[in-house]
Structure 1
Amino acid sequence: MAEQAETLRRTPLSRDRILRTAVALADAAGIDSLSMRNLAQELGVVPMALYKHVANKDELLDGMIDVVIGEIDPPAPGSGWKREIGRRILSARQALRRHPWAPLAIESRTTATPAILAYLDSMVGTLRAGGFSTDLAHHVMHAMGSRMLGFSQELFDPSRQAGRSGPAEPEPPAAMPPEAAARFPHLAAIAAAAAHDDGSVVGSGCDDQFEFEFALDLLLDGIERLHRQGWTSARRPD
C-alpha cells in the first residue's frame, strides 16, 4: 500500500488526473465535501500545485462536468434520428447515475461547459441530419430541456424536498395527510397509484427509470409526428 501511494505521488500532475480524482472524491463523499485542500491531499501535492492546472474551484467543477459528459456514448450515424437521440439520452442518464452529484452541478452553472455544448450540438446535428428544420429542432431542444442530458425536474420526486436533483433511487411515496387529500383529491389519487406491488421488481415507490423512459418515448413519438407533418412555428394555432 505504501509503495502504491508513493507511486501515485511520483505520477506527474496533470489536469486530467486532477479532474478524475476530483470526480472520484465527489462520487464517494458528495460534491459539497470536495475542496482544493482535500483534493491536493488525495493527490499527494500541496494545494498551490493544483492552480497550475485549474484556475479555481469553478474551473475545477466545469472540468469535472466535462469528464462526466465525456462518458456519454458517441454518435453512431445511420441508426435513424429517433433511435439515436433516445440511445444517447439514456446513455447520458447512465452517466449521471454513476455520478449522482452531476445534475445539481450542471444546474448550478451559469454557462454551459465545452463538453455540454459539443454534446448538444451533436444532438441538434442528429435532428438536422434526420431532416428536421432548424425551426423544429429549436423547439425540440426546448421541449426536451434537461431531459436531453439525462435528467428531469420531477414534480413528484421526494428528493426535491431535500435539495437534491437528478436521478434518484426509488423511494416509497409519502402518504398525503387526510385534510390535504380532501382538498387535492386528484393529486391524492395519483400519489396512491404510485405505489407498486411489493413483489414487483421495482418494489415500493415510483420507478424513476421507467417514468423517465415513459416520458422520453412520449416526447419522441410526438416529435416524430410533427416532423412527418412538416410542422413549423409559423403554422402554430393562434
Structure 2
Amino acid sequence: MADTLHRTPLTRERILLAAVALADAAGIQALSMRNLAQDLGVVPMALYKHVANKDELLDGMIDVVVGEIDPPRDDLDWKRSVRLRILSARQMLLRHPWAPLAIESRNMATMAVLSYLDSVVATLRAGGFSTDLAHHVMHAMGSRVLGFSQELFDASRRVGQTGAADADPPAAMPPEITTRFPHLAEIAAAAAHDDGSVVGSGCDDQFEFEFAVDLLLDGIERLRQQGWTSARHTRRAA
C-alpha cells in the first residue's frame, strides 16, 4: 500500500522523458511501448492513456529534444543569432543521435519544429531579409538549420514507419498552422512554384539547388581570397 501511495504518477511528460532516455541509451530501434512500459514500471496499456500510439510518442519525443535548442538572442545581429541556434541544435543532436532520423521520418513537422523554424525566419526578417530571400536561404540551409545535413523540404527523402520512401507531397498548411506560424506561411508563398517539384506545389527544385551551390561557391571564393586556413580559424575560435 505504501509503495502505491508514493509511486510517481504517470504523466505524458514523464512518458516522453523516459522514451527520450531509452532512445538515447539503446537507440531508436529499441523504442517500443513494451520496453518503455517496462522502464516505467507500468503495463503497456497504461501508456495509451497519455499517448495514442507510437507515432504520437515520436512526435512528443521530437518536441522534447527540439525544446532544448537555445532561444533566439535579440541582443545579437541575425547572423550570430542564427549561427548560435544552429550550433545549439547541433549539440542537441549530439545528445540525442536518434533525433535526425526521427525528425526526417515524420510526414509533417511537429509543433516544436515548426515553432523553431518560424523563429529562425523571424530572425532573418528582423535582420533585413526580404520574404523572397528568406525563403531561399531556408532552402539553402536545409536541415542544417536543425543541426544535420539533409534536405529539409524534400518529401522524397522522408522515410515512414515501413522503411519505404514516402513520395507523397506534403499537404498545404492548414489555416490554424499558418496563423500560428506566420513567418513560415509567409515564405511558403514567396517564390514561383514548380508543378514538377518533389514537393508538389512547393518550390522549383533546380533553382533551389543552384541557389545553394552558388551560395556555397561564393562563400568558398571569399575564403580563398582571404587566404583562409583551418588552423587559423581554429586558433581564432579558441
How far apart in 1 are the matches of 2:140 and 2:73? 23
State the TM-score, normalizing by the size of structure 2: 0.61
Say which of 99, 103, 112 aligns to 1:102: 99
How far apart in 1 are the matches of 2:118 and 2:42? 37
Structure 2 counterpart of 1:16, which letter? Answer: E
| Alignment partner of 1:141 is 2:138 | yes
Offset at residue 66 of structure 1 (A): 0.7
Structure 1 counterpart of 2:64, which letter? Answer: V
Matched residues, number: 156
Q: In structure 1, the residue corresponding to 2:149 is in which secondary structure? A: coil
How far apart in 1 are the matches of 2:97 and 2:21? 12
How far apart in 2 are the matches of 1:49 and 1:76? 41
Say which of 128, 131, 134 aligns to 1:131: 128
State the TM-score, normalizing by the size of structure 1: 0.61
Q: Which has the higher contact order (CA 8 A, sep 6+)?
A: 1
Q: In structure 2, the residue corresponding to 1:76 is in which secondary structure? A: coil
Distance 1:7 1:66, change over 3 A: farther
Say which of 106, 114, 117 aligns to 1:117: 114
Partner of 2:84 in structure 1? 87
Distance 1:65 1:134, change over 3 A: same
Partner of 2:149 in structure 1? 152
How far apart in 2 are the matches of 1:65 and 1:8? 32
Q: Deviations over 1:66-88 (max 9, x none)?
A: 11101101111120000000000
Q: In structure 1, the residue corresponding to 2:14 is in which secondary structure? A: helix
Q: Where does structure 1 lack aligned partners over 5 or more consecutive residues? A: 155-214, 226-238
Aligned partners of 2:59 and 2:110 also within 8 Å: yes
| Alignment partner of 1:36 is 2:33 | yes
Which residues of 2 match residues 52-71 of structure 1 at below 5 A? 52-71=49-68
Q: In structure 2, the residue corresponding to 1:39 is in which secondary structure? A: helix
Offset at residue 9 of structure 1 (A): 7.6
Offset at residue 7 of structure 1 (A): 8.6
Which residues of 2 match residues 1-238 of structure 1 at below 5 A? 10-153=7-150
Q: In structure 2, the residue corresponding to 1:96 is in which secondary structure? A: helix
Q: Percent identity?
A: 81
Distance 1:12 1:145, change over 3 A: same
Q: In structure 1, the residue corresponding to 2:29 is in which secondary structure? A: helix
Structure 1 counterpart of 2:140, which letter? Answer: A
Q: In structure 1, the residue corresponding to 2:22 is in which secondary structure? A: helix
Q: Deviations over 1:151-181 (max 9, x none)?
A: 0149xxxxxxxxxxxxxxxxxxxxxxxxxxx
How far apart in 1 are the matches of 2:4 and 2:97? 30
Distance 1:36 1:9, change over 3 A: farther
How far apart in 1 are the matches of 2:150 and 2:10? 38
Q: In structure 1, the residue corresponding to 2:135 is in which secondary structure? A: helix
